[in-house]
Structure 1
């Protein structure tokens, strides 16, 4: 009898918690696989999670999509989020990514204001300046995977 109670307590303690990640696809969408994982304060990663909604065309231009990432209950508040894309096209997203904790607290991560678009590519990592149709210019920063140097900004 005690063994069953102990097993139930262990299962409850190991239950994962869910964080929500909201990303805005900018001008270059993708039909390729996009995955993410989180890192805790000590640098321990969660498992990779594929961002894919069944029956939905994910990561199209202008989409604001929210996906769930499950982490172990003892993971703590995530410190970083890493994005990865497979395939051979480019996918660009707005430089601010929102992360919402299970209790509804919102944090975020982003690049410097100089980068208007962040892109994942299979080509070499590089930066380019683009001139929009209205004559304004902005920067696109290309990465093989995206792991920003600064941590997720959580309210204190």
Structure 2
């Protein structure tokens, strides 16, 4: 039995988070490419995944990316041109646009979700459901710390 501590336990937490995120993004990107969705821009994965969940308006999703309005507009334009998003004028307020996933966007979101679920399952297989829950709690606490700091800063 290996009693040596894992070498990554000495790595700073922000670096661990970055590398762990790469595990998910690489798996999702691979699955999307294999399924024929090889033209999604980097932040497009986040936008498509978040829209598929449907819990936040596009403006909030874009704000969470922490990019300029110009970059956000270019991202949405690229996703519309590549057939992942549909942009229409809101019939009740002609000044507003509504952005929804197209069928292609929904299929890409399903592919992305399946890849994410596979990594989640492998994680649980390696560390167990209780530790996976603890990891989620720790990450949720980090998100709360950021939100509290932003709220306090006004």
Q: TM-score range by the shorter chain?
A: under 0.3
Q: Which of the pair is proportionally richer in helix?
A: 2
TM-score calculated relative to the size of structure 2: 0.21
